[in-house]
Chain A
Amino acid sequence: MKILVCISNVPDTTSKINFTDGNTKFDSNGVQFVINPNDEFGLTRAMWFKEKQGATVHVATVGGPTTEPTIRKALAIGADEAIRVNAEPLDGYFVAEQLAAVVKNGAYDLVIAGRESIDYNGGMVPGILATLLGMNFINTCISLEIEGETATAVREIDGGKEKLTTSLPLVIGGQKGLVAESDLRIPNMRGIMMARQKKLNVVEPVGTEITTEDVAFDKPAPKGSIKLVAADNLDELINLLHNEAKVI
C-alpha cells in the first residue's frame, strides 16, 4: 500500500496572532511552525500501517522553503520520502489542486489529510482533493482499518459516531482518535539523522485560478472584564445569567 500524508505547516497553537501590512497579511515574525495537529494523528496512523501491514509512506506539503523543517520532522518521525510543492498555499482549492497532481503522479492508494488546518480552519482540502481525483472520501475520521482493497472507518458525527465501509483508493480527513494522543511520536536522534538522508523532492505548482482571497484581517474586540460571584452567593450568578446575560 502506498500512502500519502498531507502535512500543513501551521503556527504552534500557543502563537500570538498578529497581522501586518495594514492588516492584510499574517505576521509570521517570531512564530514557531509545527505539523498541523490533525495531520500528526494521520501521520502516526500511517506509521502504524507501515509497521504492522507494510506500506510506503510519503508526506507532501504545499509551501515555500521555510516549511522544510516541518516536513523534515515528518521524515524524522518515519515517513519514507517527502514532496514539497513550491508555492504559497493561497487558498484551500489551490492546495487541493496541487496535492491532486502529487497523488496522480505517485499513484497512492490512501491519502491521509487532517480534518482541518488550525490556521485558516478551512477544512476543505481533503474533500476537494478526493473529488478532483474521483476517490472515495471520509471526513472527521476517528478510526481507520484497511484490509486488501476494503476500508472500514469510523467518523465523528454531531452527537455520536458512524461506522462506514468503502474501498481504496481513499482520501480521509482525520483527527484525534485515529491514534491516541499517547501514540504520537517525538523524533529521536536516530530519526533526525536518518531524515537527513531521505529524499525531499521539490516540485513546481500546477497552474490554477485562485477562487478566494483574504483581503483583510482583524481581531476580536478586547473582552470586558469578568464579573466574579462569591461561591456562597450563587443566587447572584443565577440572577446575572437570567436577567443580564439572558441565557437561562
Chain B
Amino acid sequence: MSVLVYTESENGKFKKNATEVASFAHEVARQMDTTATAVSINANDSGNMGDYGISKVLNVTDEKLKTFNAQAYAHVLKQAAEKEGAKVIIVSSSTDTKFLAPILTALLKGGYVPNVVAAPDSISPFKVKRTVFSNKGFAHTELKSDIKVIGVSNNAFGSVENKTTATVESFSPSLDGNIFGTTSVSIDKVVGKATIADADIVVSGGRGLKGPENWGMIEELAEVLGAATACSKPVSDLGWRPHGEHVGQTGKPVASNLYIAIGISGAIQHLAGVSASKVKVVINSDPEAPFFKAADYGVVGDAFEVVPTLIEKLKKFKTQNA
C-alpha cells in the first residue's frame, strides 16, 4: 500500500516540479510508515527519483503517450494505483496535472484536494492545508474518501533530498478502448525560455509601461535574471502581450521565488495570483500604489529610468558573481 506519485516529464526529462512532488510523496509515505512509488511516462532518467526518497519507479514507455492526453494519462495512473494498491496519490499543480487529476479522481471514485501547501497536518484523519479564496485564506481539509488525490502547489514544499535506491520497473498499462477522447492538433510553445509556471523569477509589466513598444526592457531584465515575463490583465486585454502572460486571479498563478512587478498598481485580483511568490519587488512611480503594501522590497520611481539602470547594474553583478 505505497503512496503513488506522478512525476511529470517533458521530452524525456523530468519537469522541475517532479522532484517536489517526489519529496512530498516521500514525506507522506514516511508519516504513513510505507514507501513511495513514482509513475513516470516516457522519462529517461527515472532512477534519479531515488535521490528524493522514491523506492520504486513504474516506468511507462509508449509512443501513444508521447503527447500529453489528460484522459489517457489518468487511465495510466488509475491502473498504476490499482497495481500498487495505492490509496494516496500525489500530483503536482501544473496546468496538465490540474487537467488530469479530476479525471483520475472520478475514475477512482476518490477525493481530491488541490493547492496543498504543506505536509499533511495529520494522517488519521487525513488532513491537509490548502490555499483558498485566491490565496487570501487557507483551509484545513479532511479527506474522508478511501482514495485520496493530493495536488501539491508549486514551490510550496520544495525539493528535499532523501537518498535511497529506486528500483525501476517497466509498466505497460492497457491503453485500449476510447480513452483518447481528444486529439492534439498542434502545440505552440515558446522553447528555450522560462515559463511562468516553472520559473524561479518572473518579471512582470503593467499598464504603467504605456505600450507594447516598451517591453524590450522587460524582456532584457528577464533575460539577465533568467526569468519568465508576465503582465497584468489590462496589458493582455489591450493586446500588448499574449493572454498566456496574464497573471492573477483570472490569469496564471505565479509561485516563483522572486516576482518583480513594474508599473503594476497591485489591484486585489492581480495580487491574488502572485501572492504565493516568496519575494515580491515593486517598481512604481506612485508611492500610494497598493502593491507597496503587498511587496517585500520597493522602488518609488519612473520605470523608464529605474529599469534600464537596474539592468546595467544586474549585468555587472552577474559578471562579478559568475
Contacts and interface: CB of A to CB of B under 8 A. Distances in A.
B48 interface: no
A170 B268 CA distance: 34
Interface in A107-165: 118-128, 130-132, 136-140, 142, 152, 155-165
A166 B98 contact: no
A217 B139 contact: yes
Contacts of B244: 156, 159-161
Task: Count chain A CB atoms within 10 A of each CB in B135, B198, B299 and give the residue with the most.
Answer: B299
Given A131-B106, A211-B145, A217-B138, A226 B296 contact: yes
Contacts of A156: 95, 243-244, 252
Report whether over half of chain A's contact residues are helix, strand or loop; otherwise say mixed.
mixed
Contact of A137 (B103, B142, B299): B103
A131 B110 contact: no
Given A121-B115, A241-B281, A213 B317 contact: no
B102 interface: yes
A157 B96 contact: yes
Contacts of A248: 201, 225, 258, 314, 317
A155 B305 CA distance: 38
A212 interface: yes
A162 B250 contact: no
B196 interface: yes
Interface stretch (A47-55, A76-84, A198-206, A231-239): A231-239
A212 B297 contact: no
Interface stretch (B28-36, B39-47, B57-65, B185-193): B185-193
B156 to A, nearest CB: 13
Given A93-B112, A124-B102, A164-B184, A217 B132 contact: yes
Nearest to B111: A211
Interface string A168-209: 000001011100111000000000000000000000000001
Contacts of A132: 106
A31 to B, nearest CB: 11
Interface stretch (B18-26, B167-175, B212-220, B287-295): B287-295
Contact of B102 (A131, A162, A163, A214): A131
Interface stretch (A9-17, A57-65, A67-75): A9-17
B179 to A, nearest CB: 11
B185 A163 contact: yes
Interface residues on B, range: 35 or more
A241 B278 CA distance: 12
Contacts of B258: 241, 245, 247-248
Contact of A216 (B139, B237, B243, B310): B139
Contact of A162 (B141, B184, B299): B184
Contacts of A138: 182
A33 B126 CA distance: 32
A162 B188 CA distance: 6
A96 B106 contact: yes
A50 to B, nearest CB: 23
Nearest to A247: B258
B91 to A, nearest CB: 12
Contacts of A104: none
A215 B138 contact: no
A245 B279 contact: yes
A238 B279 CA distance: 13
Contacts of A217: 132, 137-140
A220 interface: yes
A37 interface: yes
Contacts of B225: 248
Contact of B137 (A157, A180, A219, A224): A219
B278 A247 contact: yes
A136 to B, nearest CB: 4
Contacts of A152: 185
Given A119-B132, A175-B250, A220 B138 contact: yes
Nearest to B318: A248
Contacts of B190: 159-160
B144 A213 contact: yes
B140 A214 contact: yes
Contact of B195 (A38, A158, A228): A158
Nearest to A122: B114
B306 interface: yes
A240 interface: yes
A120 to B, nearest CB: 5
B250 A157 contact: no
B127 to A, nearest CB: 7
A157 B243 contact: no
Interface string B128-149: 0001111111111111110000
B133 A37 contact: no
B105 interface: yes
Contacts of A121: 114-115, 131-134
B250 A176 contact: yes
A92 interface: yes
A166 B106 contact: no
Contacts of B275: 220
A92 B251 contact: no
8 contacts: A17-B133, A96-B106, A131-B103, A161-B187, A228-B298, A234-B309, A245-B296, A247-B201
